[in-house]
Structure 1
């Protein structure tokens, strides 16, 4: 089994870390791939350049041999999550691939590139997030295998971006230091 966790990780928080650690403990995958969105992803406001988010993830997970942080979605030939997962599948042909998403993505999946193929060919783990409605209609419509992973946390990347000092305890110390050193999320141009 290979678990692939997609997201913006803008910034990566202690909640992301706990989700990853909990998923590894529960599912015992052979590989865990973190798939940060690349520079072509235009749906999020205030999305830091890929390099910063990638480096912050490296600071947290570089010593864990089970975890890979992928740059697939930052390549010029990026064609959407479906194609990213197909590339993962090529490098792990004998493994079942599970894509991990938060409940906040359930309402917009129909807008993703090749979402029908994504839902037809891959299995999902949905991380239940507070304040988001659970609607699995899209999975039922495509007869997609999915599991819900219960994880309650009030840590919010957007809240951290809005006030780094107030919510710095929601960040790994190495990530906090990186943000301060690079003057990120402080209204300054990058």
Structure 2
């Protein structure tokens, strides 16, 4: 594992008070849809940075088609191509298997950073299957970015219903990072049809 002199995983630069969006996934491969989500989040949520957390693998997905981490990092870096988007593989370096472990680590390292968890509406549809999803919702605000085919279905999924009382209007998205969790917002707008699965299939 690549650690610093104190035995801690290296993370992108952060400072107290920064508003940082966390966008996790296998990025297998990264594509312009990921960049679109990040730019929407930066603008609509008034974030200072977005970190792409390149995971070692999704426990809910088949890993047989997963490209090597270094290759996924390289492609992601080229696709992001933005001074306010950083790429990190710290989850592999700390041995995290689940999102809650990663978020616990980040909050302990940077307790004064205002983190927001970002995910697509397709992920919200399966959020109830994530380990400790209720605990994740209680750890930091969540922003859902609309995806084609999930505009109407994902807000009615089990995970969304469990959090329904804490949903804020998207007109208030700019203050999400300042709210105590649980708090979440569903952001509508232009949607990207790109997907890593389709790209791997050559579609």
SS of the residue aligned with 1:154? Answer: coil
Match of residue 157 from structure 1? 196
Q: Cα distance 1:116–1:80, how it changes in 2: closer, same or farther (>3 A)?
A: same
Match of residue 61 from structure 1? 80
Cα displacement string for residues 144-188 of structure 1 (whole angstroms, at most 9, x for unaligned residues)? 31111224122222221111xxx6xxxxxxxxxxxxxxxxxxxxx
- Give the whole-Å Cα distance in 2 for the aligned partners of 1:107 and 1:14: 22
Q: CA RMSD in A?
A: 2.4
| Structure 1, unaligned runs of 5 or more | 168-190
CA contact (8 A) 1:11 1:53 kept: yes
Among candidates 121, 128, 140, match of residue 103 of structure 1: 121
Match of residue 145 from structure 1? 183
- Give the whole-Å Cα distance in 1 for the aligned partners of 2:42 and 2:200: 27
What TM-score do you get using the length of structure 2 for normalisation?
Answer: 0.70
Q: Cα distance 1:142–1:149, how it changes in 2: closer, same or farther (>3 A)?
A: closer
Q: Cα distance 1:105–1:112, how it changes in 2: closer, same or farther (>3 A)?
A: same
- Give the whole-Å Cα distance in 2 for the aligned partners of 1:62 and 1:100: 19
Q: Cα distance 1:21–1:40, how it changes in 2: closer, same or farther (>3 A)?
A: closer
Q: Cα distance 1:12–1:107, how it changes in 2: closer, same or farther (>3 A)?
A: same
SS of the residue aligned with 1:106? Answer: helix
- Give the whole-Å Cα distance in 2 for the aligned partners of 1:7 and 1:38: 9
Q: Cα distance 1:116–1:42, how it changes in 2: closer, same or farther (>3 A)?
A: closer
CA contact (8 A) 2:26 2:57 kept: no
Q: Please list, as runs of the form range in 1=range in 2, the aligned pairs for 1:106-121 lying within 5 A after superposition.
A: 106-121=124-139
- Give the whole-Å Cα distance in 1 for the aligned partners of 2:53 and 2:129: 19
- Give the whole-Å Cα distance in 1 for the aligned partners of 2:112 and 2:186: 24
SS of the residue aligned with 2:67? Answer: coil
What TM-score do you get using the length of structure 1 for normalisation?
Answer: 0.74
Match of residue 69 from structure 2? 50
Q: Cα distance 1:44–1:126, how it changes in 2: closer, same or farther (>3 A)?
A: farther
Aligned residues: 163
Q: Does 1:20 align with 2:38?
A: yes
How far the C-alpha of 1:42 sits from its partner, in A, is 5.5
| Structure 2, unaligned runs of 5 or more | 1-18, 168-181
